[in-house]
Amino acid sequence: MTGPEWERVVTFLKSLTVELDTSIEPNTPNPHLNMILHVLQSHSEGRLVSPSSIVAAAGVPYATATRKLGELKESGLLEQRPRTKSGKSFSLHPSAALLEQFSQLADRIDRMARLSFGGSPETDAGENYYYGGSYQATRATIVPPVVLPQPLKLPGGLRILVHGDPTFMVMENLKRQFEQLVGTDIHQRAFSIDRLREEALRNSERSKSRYDLIAIDLPWLGEFVKKGVIRPLTEVMDVSRLDPADFHTAGWRAAHWDGCPYGVPSQTTPELMFYRKDWFASEGLEPPVTTDAVIDAARHFHDPRHGRYGVAWNAARGTALGHTFMMTCAAFGQPIIDLPEIAGGYDADHLGHRTFHPMLNTDRAMDAADYLMQLLAFSPPDILSMSWYERVRPYASGKVAMAYGYTLLAPYFELDDSCAAHSNTGYLPHPHGPEGAPIAPVGGYVFCIPSNLAEDRIDDTIEALVAFTSPGAQKLYAQSGSRTAPRYSVGADPEVRRLSPIFELVDQMSWRDELQFWPRPPIPEISDIIRICGHELHDMLRGIVSPREALDRAQAGAEDIMRQQVT
């Protein structure tokens, strides 16, 4: 279940043993190896292994195969999980020890194959030690997920409410493997961002939750806590099981309210600036690290007559543009509310015991609005309807020089070698204004336990939560196409780092304290403020009102909202 590299070695060894067993006579089959390869391949494909099927795969007489199977179980390489209450029927799975040993073996086989058949055995980078990483580029640090010892007992299966983004779609594609992992059916419902919030709030009004786990956007946390939608994790589990120190600091802190964790990061995806490295290099331009540099580069590359544009971004009316404005204010050095200033930014960890005031018509907010007006002049003609995915598509196809985008959107061009942006993309924190600093606003979702989840489902749901957010599971998501990694250990894994430069870059940004969640502070009123900003500034971009009038309207609307009590 670790993805193509690991599966490739299993497939190679199976093919090799078939060739050896059928091409050279006399020959003695290796039943231990045949059974191990069978159970590993089945594990990766999400197929259950019965005692009869593994005996058949041994390639030796039944009695011999049964004896060899017993030896494998006694050695601790295989585990069995009951399929019935009596335990007489069971399935076989690789143990953690087998997965660890085979992971190391697969690395050695891969290295030997490259040495023997003309590949490069090492890279210079692999010789260097980096903090949080591995000493050897060929040594995987994270082994595949192990099946739960007991299948989950959840009538109707595990029910999950998620956002319809690429990372959660990867989870849907891996549904079969994860059903084997937890031992029950998985039912996943996916919605757009606004509909996801509506459904989560609607679900909280039901007598019993329809979902065992719900994914919530980081800015919603305060609202969902205040409205009693989600439960504190400390009430239902030992939080130390999650290994909190392994999560990116900003992503883990953003899952807290008043110091208490309410969710587990399922994806941590900062918004970055994507830019065409090849275009900038050919024109002798430096990467755009400031907002002035973005405008200059956008002007340089903008050529509408030939279907080329300077920059793409979230400018669609409502939620999309509201998020853009908040993060642009942060790039110019201020949050949208009067958060206390601290070293490295602003304090968004203590939001529950004080009253805040919106800051939507300040001088820096005006600079942010003016920057968006400048961007408008060098954007595609349909920019005012562009949102999360629409901004990345023209960038991927080679029509745009730069695009603001979350890392979870990078698979659109990283995994499609027909895209012009494939292998030609550089990644930067948000370009900053004169009084700002490089930051990468943290986005993504946390898995939470609904407050109205039936008590008899909580314990098994916690087991699923731990399994889905484990390093092994997160590595699997990355190897299956996701470009989000909420854990340091996953971003430092050599196999993961070979997939995309994003993982190492995001880790570096985290070490430099550039990953921040204060640009979208999770106060209870944030969704309404986002909506107001997204509507008022859209009128500004359309030329209906001036920037000053748009900001004054947004400020007045936000003040009205923050005078009301969230219940």
470 and 450 within one domain: yes
Say how far apart CA 82 and CA 149 lie, in whole Å: 9
Decide if 373 is inside a domain: yes
Higher pLDDT, 185 or 99: 185
* Residue 464 burial by Cβ neighbours in a 10 Å radius (0-12, 13-18, 19+): buried
As a whole number, the mean pLDDT across the chain is 89
Say how far apart CA 92 and CA 47 lie, in whole Å: 10
Decide if 136 is inside a domain: no
Q: What domain range includes position 44?
A: 4-127
Decide if 175 is inside a domain: yes
432 and 495 within one domain: no
Number of domains in the chain: 3
372 and 289 within one domain: yes
Q: What is the pTM of this model?
A: 0.81
- What average pLDDT does the segment 350-374 reach? 94
Higher pLDDT, 509 or 7: 509
Say how far apart CA 257 and CA 529 lie, in whole Å: 19
Within the chain, what is the greatest distance between any pair of CA atoms? 88
Last-in-domain residue among 127, 146, 178: 127
Decide if 369 is inside a domain: yes
Convert the pLDDT of each residue in 494-522 to its tens digit. 889 999 999 999 999 998 999 999 999 99
337 and 275 within one domain: yes
Torsion sign across C-alpha atoms 386, 315, 409, 210: negative
Decide if 143 is inside a domain: no
Residue 511, H or E segment:
helix 501-511
Convert the pLDDT of each residue in 250-284 to its tens digit. 999 999 999 999 999 998 999 999 999 999 999 99
424 and 298 within one domain: yes
Q: Is residue 84 pLDDT above 90, yes or no?
A: no
* Residue 27 burial by Cβ neighbours in a 10 Å radius (0-12, 13-18, 19+): exposed
247 and 110 within one domain: no
Decide if 149 is inside a domain: no
What string of H, E and C letters represents the secondary structure of 377-425?
A: CCCCCCHHHCCCCCCHHHHHCCCEEEEEEEHHHCHHHHCCCCCCCCCCE
Token pair, residue 112, equals: 């030997």
Decide if 290 is inside a domain: yes
553 and 476 within one domain: no
CATH number, domain of 503, equals: 3.40.190.10
CATH number, domain of 60, equals: 1.10.10.10
pLDDT range class, residue 133, cuts 50, 70, 90: very low
462 and 435 within one domain: no
Decide if 164 is inside a domain: yes
255 and 181 within one domain: yes
Locate all alpha helices (DSSP H) within 254-362, ordered by sequence: 277-282, 291-301, 319-331
* Predicted pLDDT at 87: 66
* Predicted pLDDT at 308: 97
166 and 197 within one domain: yes
Phi/psi of residue 312, nearest 5 degrees: -120, 145
DSSP-based three-state secondary structure for 489: helix
407 and 506 within one domain: no
Q: Which residues contact 480 (CB under 8 A, 6 or more apart)?
A: 3, 170, 173, 174
Burial 141-166 (b: 16+ CB within 10 A, else e): bbbbbbbbeebbebeeebbbbbbebb
Say how far apart CA 113 and CA 513 lie, in whole Å: 40
